Amino acid sequence: MTGQDLREARRKKGWTQEESAEKLGVTQAYLSMLERGRRAMPYTLARRAVETLDAPPTALPLRASASETPVESEKLSLQLTALGYPGFAHLRARTRRNPAEVLLTALNAADLDSRVTEGLPWLALAYPEMDWDWMVQNAKLLDRQNRLGFVATLASQLASKSADSRRAGRLREYVGVLERSRLVKEDTLCQDSLTEAERKWLRSNRPAEAAHWNLLTDMQAENLPHATL
């Protein structure tokens, strides 16, 4: 959360600096320095501010680098639920993470439940204002730029079909950025345990977008459940 994020969330809430400082447990002078960027936002205070001021989850602090620790499908299902994904509406989850972290963590998984991977284009579509620069940088470090590029491509297609030019333009911008670092090696979309027979079939039957990003997957935008917001 930047100082500008903090100030905008406070003003949207209709609170003065004094009111916000009291609710956050800090002094008005310290809050003022945070809003002006004269103090770095502590992680715990940023999380508290997002919850207290009802700021979007994109304002939640990001780690300096993406984690390579595997995350199970069940945990990612809860994280998607907390961010509003309707595909797991039957679950109950309240603790939110920054959607950029959730997306990149999922894309770095070797194997995920297909219901989770189907929710990833929705995540990119729902939060086009997430920190794409952070995601692109860390996707490159993890060699996951093809997976991210493919998901962003599907999300941009969904945005175009809904005539949402703002979202579509934002997503296409980063598809173009990822295009410049597209890898030639073959990969899957979080399904590394595919058999050789399955891989052979997908090489011949995958959609054009998957072939372009060198991914073995049959996922297409028009077949995604919950493809609209």
112 occurs within a structural domain = yes
Query: Are residue 86 and residue 34 in the same domain, yes or no?
Result: no
pLDDT of residue 111: 96
67 occurs within a structural domain = no
Query: Are residue 124 and residue 162 in the same domain, yes or no?
Result: yes
H helices present in the chain, as ranges: 3-13, 17-24, 28-35, 43-52, 73-82, 99-107, 114-117, 120-126, 132-142, 145-161, 165-179, 196-205, 208-212
Query: Are residue 49 and residue 141 in the same domain, yes or no?
Result: no
pLDDT of residue 227: 76
65 occurs within a structural domain = no
pLDDT of residue 225: 86
Domain tally, the chain: 2
Residue range(s) defining the domain that contains residue 51? 3-55
- Is residue 196 within a helix (H) or strand (E), and if so which, with residue range? helix 196-205
Query: Are residue 96 and residue 27 in the same domain, yes or no?
Result: no
**Nearest Cα to 2, choosing from 154, 165, 129, 156?**
129
Query: Are residue 26 and residue 129 in the same domain, yes or no?
Result: no
Query: Are residue 153 and residue 205 in the same domain, yes or no?
Result: yes
62 occurs within a structural domain = no
Query: Are residue 81 and residue 169 in the same domain, yes or no?
Result: yes
What are 187's strand-pairing partners? Answer: 215
pTM score: 0.88
228 occurs within a structural domain = no
Residue type, 42: P
51 vs 2: CA distance, rounded Å: 15
pLDDT of residue 68: 65
Helix or strand or coil: residue 111? strand
Mean pLDDT in each 10-residue stretch from start to end of the chain (229 residues)? 89 94 94 92 88 90 73 93 93 89 95 96 95 95 96 96 90 96 97 97 98 98 85
Query: Are residue 16 and residue 117 in the same domain, yes or no?
Result: no
Phi/psi-derived region of residue 63, left when phi > 0, alpha when psi is between -120 and 50, beta in every other case: beta
39 vs 35: CA distance, rounded Å: 8
144 occurs within a structural domain = yes
143 occurs within a structural domain = yes
Query: Are residue 32 and residue 92 in the same domain, yes or no?
Result: no
Query: Are residue 89 and residue 39 in the same domain, yes or no?
Result: no
Query: Are residue 84 and residue 161 in the same domain, yes or no?
Result: yes
Q: What is the CATH number of the domain that holds 47?
A: 1.10.260.40
CA 140 → CA 19, 48, 117, 148, 164, distances in Å?
42, 31, 20, 10, 28
124 occurs within a structural domain = yes
pLDDT of residue 204: 97
Query: Are residue 22 and residue 97 in the same domain, yes or no?
Result: no
61 vs 90: CA distance, rounded Å: 28
Token reading at 16: 């003065």
